[in-house]
Amino acid sequence: MYKVTGKIKYGAVWDNGKCLATFNKGVAKIKDAKTVEKLKSLGYSAEEIADDESKKE
């Protein structure tokens, strides 16, 4: 699982009609590595987190 942060606090990032990420308080949690790479190419930053850490939030 990846924690993605970046340009927006709330809302979604779309690409060709597909929702890539939904941000809440500036953080989106993504499981798909391809999606994370796409978001990185759009200027977002990502870090890998453990699945149990993501359940705490």
For residue range 1-57, list pLDDT tens digits in order.
Answer: 999 999 899 999 999 999 999 999 999 999 999 999 999 999 999 999 987 655 555
- The widest CA-to-CA distance across the chain, in whole angstroms, is 32
User: How far apart (Å, rounded) are the C-alpha atoms in residues 38 and 3?
Assistant: 14
User: How is residue 25 annotated by DSSP?
Assistant: T
